[in-house]
Amino acid sequence: MTDPVNDEVLIFVEGRTGRIRLNRPKAIHALTHPICTAMIRALTAWASDDGVDLVMIDHAEGRGFCAGGDIRHIADSAKGDGSEGRAFFHEEYRLNHLLFTYAKPTIAFMDGITMGGGVGISQPCSIRVVTERTMYAMPETGIGLFTDVGGGRYLSRMPGRMGQYVGLTGARLNGAECLALALGTHYVESDGIEALKAAILGNPGAIDAALRSAVSAVPPAPILDRQADIDRLFASDRYEDIVAALAADGGDWALATLKTLETKSPQACKVVLRLLAESARIDDFAEEMAMEYAVVVRVIQRPDIIEGVRALIVDKDNAPRWNPPTAAGVSDADIDAIFAPLPPSEAWTPLPNA
C-alpha cells in the first residue's frame, strides 16, 4: 500500500521489512517536503512496531537513487520570504537525524545517482549498498549552497583532506571510491541487487548472510591515487590558500581542479571549509544539524542560491554571476554572520524522542 497522501514515495511493509521507495523518476527522486514528512511518519510508526525488523530505502525506477532536494522550489522560496525553504530544510534535517538515531537496522541502496539529499538519507543508514552505477557527489557549491544534510559530519571524517576536496569541488565518486571512503558498506554488482533485496525481504534476520553472498569483487578506487596530492593541496582551511596551492603546483590535475573551483560560489566554498572545521569537533548529530540549519537559513537569504539555480537549472547557461564574485570579497565577518546561532525560537530541533 502506498502512502495515501503522497504517491511520490511508496511506503509499505513487506514481510517484516518496512519499505520506502522513492518514486519521482523524472526528477531522479529529488526529495520534497511532503516526501520527507511521509518518510518521518512511516519511520516513527515502524520504530515501535514489533512486526517490522528492518527498514529498506531504495528507488522504484529510473537512473538514480536520489539526486538531492527540490532545489528549484527552494530557490523560488528564497525569492520571497524564504519560509517554504526554511520549512523544507527543517523537516529534511529532522528526517536525517531520525535515520541517524534509528534503533532498527536500516539499509539504503545507493544504486545510480546519489547526491545532496540522497546522501542525507543514505549515509545515516547502518547498511549502504553501492554498485558500479553509483555516482555519489555533494555538488552544492556549484549552486551557491553547501554540503548540508549532515555532510559536515560525513565529509569531515574522511581520511586526510578528502572531505575538503569532495565538498569544494563536487567531485563525483563511483561505487568503489564510496566503499574506500566508508560512504558505502557493501559493493554489489547492479545485476545482483534485486536478488539481494529478495533475499533480505525473505529473511530480514539473515541479512548479514545475504550480504556476504551478494558482495562482488571491488575494482580499484582511482581517487585513492590522488590522496597525497589532495592532502597537500587542500591542506589549509583558508580557501585562498587552496586556490594558491593549486595554481603554484601547475600540474595538469591541479590546474583542472582549479578550473573546477573557478565555477563554484566563493561564498559557498568558504562556508564548506568552515563547516568541516566545526563539524570535526562535534560528536552530537543533533548539534551538527542545528548548526547546519542555522547556516542554511542564512545562506538562502543571500543571492548566490537564486543565481546558482538560475544558471545551472533554469537558464542552463552555466555562467553564474556570484555575489561576491571572488573569494577576496567574502570576508571572515561574512562567514561569522552565516554561522551565528539562530535565536532559540527559530532554531532547529529534532523530533521529540528522536
Q: Residue 255 belongs to what H/E stretch?
A: helix 252-261
Judge whether 259 and 246 are in contact, CB under 8 Å: no
Q: Which of 18, 64, 68, 69 is catalytic?
A: 69
Half-sphere exposure of 209 (CA within 13 A, CB side): 7
In angstroms, the CA 203 to CA 197 distance is 10
Angstrom CA distances, 202 to 53, 189, 207, stand at 12, 20, 9
Torsion angle of alpha carbons 226, 230, 231, 232, nearest 10°?
A: 110
Beta strand extents in the chain (DSSP E only): 9-14, 17-22, 54-59, 64-66, 106-110, 113-115, 127-130, 135-137, 186-187
Q: Which three cell numbers stand for residue 226?
A: 590522488
Does the active-site annotation cover 69?
Answer: yes
Does the active-site annotation cover 189?
Answer: no
Q: Kindly list the strands in the beta sheet with 135-137, ordered across the sheet, starting from the edge strand earlier in the chain.
A: 64-66, 113-115, 135-137
70: CB partners within 8 A, 6+ apart = 27, 30, 31, 32, 88
- Identify the burial level of 59 via C-beta atoms within 10 angstroms of its C-beta, where 0-12 means exposed, 13-18 middle and 19 or more buried: buried
- Which among 260, 261, 264 is positioned nearest to 241, based on CA atoms? 261
Does the active-site annotation cover 225?
Answer: no
Does the active-site annotation cover 18?
Answer: no
144: left (phi over 0), alpha (psi -120 to 50) or beta: left
Q: Which of 58, 91, 148, 288 is catalytic?
A: 148
Q: Supply the DSSP string of 177-193, one letter for each residue.
A: HHHHTTS-SEE--GGGH
Judge whether 159 and 243 are in contact, CB under 8 Å: no
Q: Which of 111, 140, 177, 288 is catalytic?
A: 140
What are the residue numbers of the active site?
A: 69, 117, 140, 148
